[in-house]
Amino acid sequence: MEKPNPTKRTRREFLQAFLAMPVTFVFAAWGRRTEAAPLALLSTPDCGDDDDVTPRQTEGPYFTPNSPERTSLLESGITGTKITVTGKVLTTDCKPVAHALVDFWHADDKGEYDNVGYKLRGHQFTDATGRYTLKTIVPGLYPGRTRHYHVKVQAPNQRILTTQLYFPDERRNNTDRIFNPVLLMEVKNVADGKTATFDFVLKIVK
Ligand code: FE
């Protein structure tokens, strides 16, 4: 059994602790560092800053090309907690990317990938507002990894971003060496399962 490591704190936890401080203390702390340091430097990565592109992560061993085009991976035989993942594909200057390819693949609720067919694999294209919607299940755990989705995102005529998305409050987030808190989705419980949101930010090369 893995034990949570209370001495390890994610960037998000630091941020939460920071935001919980009284405002006067926060500004006093900043004042000691440098007058000019903007508070926004600590904000969650988002579009609007060239350095805040969604980070790349390893593809892993289980990508299969030519997945079917679909927004729902739910089909007969798929069990587990249903989840709807939504978000946008944005440029670093916050513009929506229409017709971006978003290709998800992930393990089933027992932590197994379908490496023969296309179960829990599918690609789609963002709409005119850059939005994607994926209906699927919460993936199971498999040895050595925390809970995650794999995804490839590609704006038209741009380089493919291969990355992974993570779930908050997972014990293994503290021990998984690939995990990056910047790639945490915002997850909520709803009546028939969960919802999650994540916006991808791409650097567009003209
Ligand atoms: Fe994986």
The pLDDT of residue 45? 55
* Ranges of each domain in the chain: 11-202
Query: Sign of torsion, CA 74 199 99 118?
Result: negative
* Residue of 112, 106, 169 lying closest to 137 (CA atoms): 106
Pull the structure tokens for residue 54: 């969604």
Distance (Å) from CA 193 to ligand 1 centroid: 22
Each residue of 27-86: pLDDT tens digit?
333 333 333 333 334 445 577 766 689 999 999 999 999 999 999 999 999 999 999 999
> Contact, 155 vs 102, CB < 8 A?
no
Instruction: Output the CATH code of domain 11-202.
Output: 2.60.130.10
> In which element (H, E) is residue 15 found?
helix 11-20
Residue range 122-152, pLDDT digits in tens: 999 999 999 999 999 999 999 999 999 999 9
Q: How far is the CA of 28 from the centre of ligand 1 (A)?
A: 44
Q: How far is the CA of 108 from the centre of ligand 1 (A)?
A: 10
Q: Quote the ligand 1 centre to 11 CA distance (angstroms).
A: 23
Q: How high does pLDDT run on average in the chain?
A: 84
